[in-house]
Amino acid sequence: MDTIATPAPPTLNGKHSGDMKKQSNTEYLPRQSGGDLLKEDDSLLRNALFATLRHHHPKLAAKLDVIFALSSAWSLTESDSDFQLLESRLSDLDPAELILISSAFSQLLNLHNLSEEVTQAQHERAVRMGEIEQSTRSTNRSFKKLISMNNISPTEIYNTICNQTVDLVFTAHPTQALRQSLLKKYATIRNHVERLHNSRMSPYEKLECLEAIRSEVAASWRTDEIRRQKPTPQGEMRQGLGYFHETICPALPLFYRRIDTALKQIGQPMLPLDHNLFNFGSWMGGDRDGNPFVTPETTRDVVITARLAAVNLYFSAIEKLMFELSIWRCNGELMELAKKIHDKQSADPYGLAEERKRKNFWEFYGIIPLTEPFRLVLSEVRDRLWHTREILHHCLVHPSLPLKGTLDNDPRAYATKQELLAPLMVLYRSLCETQDAAIANGRLLDTIRQMQCFGLAMMTLDVRQESSRHSDAMSAITDYLGLGSYNDWPEEKRVEWLLSELTGKRPLMPPALATSPEVADVINTFKVCAELPPDSLGAYVISMARAASDVLAVVLLQRECGVRDYMRVAPLFETLDDLSNSEAQMSSLLSNPWYKAHIKGEQECMIGYSDSGKDAGRLAAAWGLYEVQEKLVKVAEKEGVKLTLFHGRGGTVGRGGGPTHLAVLSQPPGTIQGALRVTIQGETMEQQFGEKEVCFRTLDLYTSAVLEASLNPAATPKQEYRDAMAEMSQISCEAYRKVVRGDERFVDYFGAATPVSELGRMNIGSRPAKRKNKPTIDTLRAIPWIFAWTQTRFNLPVWLGMGDAFIAMEKQGKLELLQEMYQQWPFFSVTLDMVEMVFAKSDPRVAQFYEVSLVDKELWSLGDELRQKFRDTKSILLKVVRHSGLLQSANTSMLQQKLALRTPYVTPLNLLQVLCLKAVREMEKGGDAPDKYANYSPENDETDQLLKRDPNAQRQPYKAAVEDTMILTMKGISAGMQNTG
């Protein structure tokens, strides 16, 4: 209010009017509460574990304390003296302590992750209780955002969401390191910790809750973390079904309810009852690619098991509804149906005896009077569900019975979901007509929605097989028929021949075909599919698909084996070469008039991430895929075919995992028109569906991500972005291969500086590990390749080659362009954010420690080069994303904290792993245990049992200790490296 004058010294009792200069704004402490909550739970669970340790091994607990304090101090000060102190403390542990210490750190990491989940769930809850600003993404939010910022009308939103569906396909989890039993325990611990936060307890209850936590932690401490034998496909399947039973099925109707509320708030009606926002699929028991344990029987078993789970779900829902709908008021339509059922139940002759047999229903076994029409109808539904269950049991026990036929021919069994839904819709309409909507929209609505979504199949099963197995099958046939050998035919002749057979009517399959077991397996799989109900089957995925004939061969094989409801065939192009000429193959396929008619204008294509990354480096692979998707979509549009892209997303970041919504909107614009199909792999299953709150949020994320991708797609990338990407892919690919294939020191370095050759021992997944000699890049799968480098916290496959590309661009003065690409192009920013996160979790000093201890000297030069590349790539990356330091942008500081909390747990595991690798490799070179433990024998029978926990291997104690520790460190480190939501 008064003029700006020159500054004068402040006086004591200043008499003339004072003046003040504009002062710069000050810094504010950042506001965060999740972090505190995280620390709170973290320390609760940590204390619980320490209490157990002190109870069982007091001396050890004290050692653990100092190791932990030193590890924390080191990650803060990074002084070498702390590091050596830490190393010396670890190297004079005796064998039993090795196991116990590594197990302690591994469990501490699991407990830590668990408290991250709890914090996450609390964060979700807090969001929904609105204690903090709504999180960035939720359907509710995006409604408002789309309306207010993009001027999309509410009705348009309604119509879009009414036509959008997300397919989530659960695959077996190859890297799910935690044993089922530990998973259960952690789930119980998690629930107790949440009860601590959420409900008001009496001191007794609080004490019981703390006791329950302590007793679970004590039990998990006593549980062998190492999985000693391989899980079976059925086993995996049951685990998957556990998620449905415990979180997905209850959470789904709740989620629909929230969507209805959100729609109501923008003045729209509730979702139509017959629309599914989600479909659930599975590969468990259907994916036989390189997994001989998946046999035709397996496939049949898992289908029946899934149907059993569905019938059980509805059976208990119907029983509850029978109690709730005890009302007398109904409309005409229901009265008519009730009368029909009543007459049938009272009239038919062998009633009473049958009646007897059904005896072990708890309630309502008498004939229900017409004055309770709802119960009358429901009792009929219950009887038929019970009967359907009997039939399914029967088929499970007698593998020769054709499932579909048995179900269809039995008038009392439910074969399709429409049969099951019809009576319930009658009830629903009746309640609405008699002004009893309040009752209708309770449990009845929830049940109807579950039936709509899960149907009688619970989830659809995909079948996956490698293309060459079909060609071998065709060759067996053509050889037998003397038509020559199919495998030797060029592509055109195959297509021409296949089409002639497909358009013709003549049977091809000779009855007495002598086949090899591999071919028999292929043919029997198709025969089994022919006998399964179509609503239990999803897509037939051809892995390593190369050409159009691969697809046609499968269609032909389906016809020849009696599949009447054809399964849609989805080719999976995996290698860079197959990807690059997938466009040609798809267009020749879709342009074929017969095929176009056959697919009724819909084609599904799967694109895989992992192997191309191993082959050409991350950048080239990602870009390759990006382009392929666009081309395939264009091909489909040209042919007037609706293409659904099926994304196989890996679990860990290395294999293209990472947060969902970022994954969705980093797809090329326009490739997602209201339909998305993705796989849910490995531990993402546990993370995204392990707990109801988080499951709720997952559904929320997918819905809003797809909604936004449809209603306001990101802009298509400018031409100069593409040129830059093409050039960078080409440079990074060369640089990547120059190291991985060009440098002959690499293979030896890789074998020595990482635990790649010791990985086989972890028993992860039902697929057998290949047992060839020294692992070379070509021979090993994408998973071990990435896993090995994650263990040493170097994560080479993620960034190798990327630096060269960026530096090359900078030299051409295109740094500005890259920065703009990061700002404007979601695909580029998502890719780089992921790489940045990997850098934040990497620590080259740890990798160097592996090198110094395990690699012989003349290969160290390669290490120095690689670490130099690491630093160059990091600094150029930071320039491109314009962050002063790793994860320094506003919305990732929380993330950095979480990572910082884990490092003190992970570092000791790395040091222990190095010790064990050294020991294991010496023993393999025929050296025996170091004299200090040459004749080590457990001093009491507890450690004796500790060292004999592997039922099918007799190992001398020192060896057992070292090997178990090694496996424990691998689990611990991977638990520490998993990225957080």
> In angstroms, rounded to a whole number, what is the distance separating the alpha carbons of residues 350 and 835?
71
Residue selected from 7, 130, 482, 813 as contacting a copy of itself according to rule CB under 8 A: 130
- 886 vs 874: CA distance, rounded Å: 9
Q: Which is nearer to a copy of itself, 257 or 741 (CB)?
A: 257
308 binds a copy of itself, rule: CB under 8 A:
yes
Active site residue 883: no
In whole angstroms, what is the distance from residue 576 CA to residue 733 CA?
11
In this structure, which amino acid lies at residue 385? L
For residue 49, the minimal CB distance to a copy of itself (Å) is 13
- Part of the chain binding a copy of itself (CB under 8 A), chosen from 52-60, 150-158, 288-296, 756-764: 52-60
For position 326 contacting a copy of itself by CB under 8 A, the verdict is yes
Q: Is 560 helix (H, G, I), strand (E, B) or coil?
A: helix
For residue 948, state whether it binds a copy of itself (rule: CB under 8 A): yes
Residue 969 Cβ vs a copy of itself, minimum distance, rounded to whole Å: 19
Q: How far is CA 173 from the centre of its chain?
A: 8
Member of 202, 503, 891, 954 binding a copy of itself (CB under 8 A): 202
- Cβ nearer to a copy of itself, comparing 213 with 724: 213
User: What is the phi-psi region of residue 601: left when phi exceeds 0, alpha when psi lies from -120 to 50, beta otherwise?
Assistant: left
Q: What is the phi/psi pair of residue 466, to 5°? A: -80, 140
The first and second tokens of residue 54, run together, are 């002190």
Residue 945 sits in the site that holds a copy of itself (CB under 8 A): yes
369 binds a copy of itself (CB under 8 A): yes
Q: x-or-dash pattern for a copy of itself, window 925-944, by CB under 8 A?
A: -----------------x--
Phi/psi for 761 (5° steps) reads: -80, 5
Q: Single out the segment in contact with a copy of itself by CB under 8 A; choices: 197-205, 492-500, 801-809, 904-912.
A: 197-205
Tell me which H or E stretch contains 590. helix 582-590
Active-site position among 57, 63, 123, 173: 173
394 lines the binding site for a copy of itself (CB under 8 A):
no
**Other CB atoms within 10 Å distance of the CB of residue 740:** 22
Q: Are 525 and 465 in contact (CB under 8 A)?
A: yes
Binding segment (CB under 8 A) for a copy of itself, from list 123-131, 407-415, 489-497, 738-746: 123-131
Instruction: Give 229 or 773: the residue with its C-beta nearer to a copy of itself.
Output: 229
> 123 catalytic, yes or no?
no
Distance of alpha carbon 537 from alpha carbon 534, whole angstroms? 5
Output the six-digit token pair for 774: 């020294």
Which residues within the stretch 328-347 sit at the binding site for a copy of itself (CB under 8 A)? Answer: 328-330
* 387 lies in the site for a copy of itself, by CB under 8 A: no
Q: What is the DSSP letter of 780?
A: S
CA distances from 912 to 46, 87, 113, 923, 954 (A): 21, 9, 21, 17, 23
* Closest CB 44 distance from a copy of itself, rounded Å: 16
Which residue bears the tokens 């408002």?
A: 144
* Distances in whole angstroms, Cα of residue 63 to Cα of each of 43, 50, 53, 285, 756: 18, 11, 11, 46, 30
Shortest Cβ distance from residue 16 to a copy of itself (Å)? 55
Closest distance to a copy of itself from the beta carbon of 696 (Å): 11
- Pair 843, 817: CB distance under 8 Å: no
Task: Choose, by CB under 8 A, the member of 15, 16, 31, 359 that binds a copy of itself.
Answer: 359
439 binds a copy of itself (CB under 8 A): yes
Does residue 224 bind a copy of itself (CB under 8 A)?
A: yes
Quick one: which segment of 430-438, 521-529, 858-866, 913-921 binds a copy of itself (CB under 8 A)? 430-438
Work out which of 91, 223, 516, 823 binds a copy of itself, going by CB under 8 A: 223
Distance CA 962, CA 947 (A): 10
User: Phi and psi dihedrals of 43, rounded to 5?
Assistant: -80, -30
Q: Is 485 in the site for a copy of itself (CB under 8 A)?
A: no
- Contact between 357 and a copy of itself (CB under 8 A)? yes
Task: From 90-98, 325-333, 414-422, 843-851, give the range in contact with a copy of itself by CB under 8 A.
Answer: 325-333
Any contact of residue 181 with a copy of itself (CB under 8 A)? yes
| DSSP 3-state of 938 | coil
Which segment (63-71, 141-149, 212-220, 565-573) binds a copy of itself by CB under 8 A? 212-220
- Does 434 contact a copy of itself by CB under 8 A? yes
CA atoms within 13 A on the CB side of 680: 24
**Cβ 200 to a copy of itself, closest distance in Å?**
6
Q: Is 353 exposed, middle or buried (0-12, 13-18, 19+ CB in 10 A)?
A: exposed
Q: Which of 342, 417, 614, 692 is catalytic?
A: 614
> Is 442 near a copy of itself (CB under 8 A)?
yes
Residue with tokens 């116990």: 100
Which of 163, 198, 409, 716 is close enough to bind a copy of itself by CB under 8 A? 198
Residue 270 has φ and ψ, to the nearest 5°, of -80, 165
Rounded CA Rg of the chain: 31
When asked if residue 203 is in the footprint of a copy of itself (CB under 8 A), the reply is yes
- Residues in region 864-883 near a copy of itself by CB under 8 A: none
How many other C-beta atoms can be found within 10 angstroms of the C-beta atom of residue 66? Answer: 12
Residues annotated as part of the active site = 173, 614
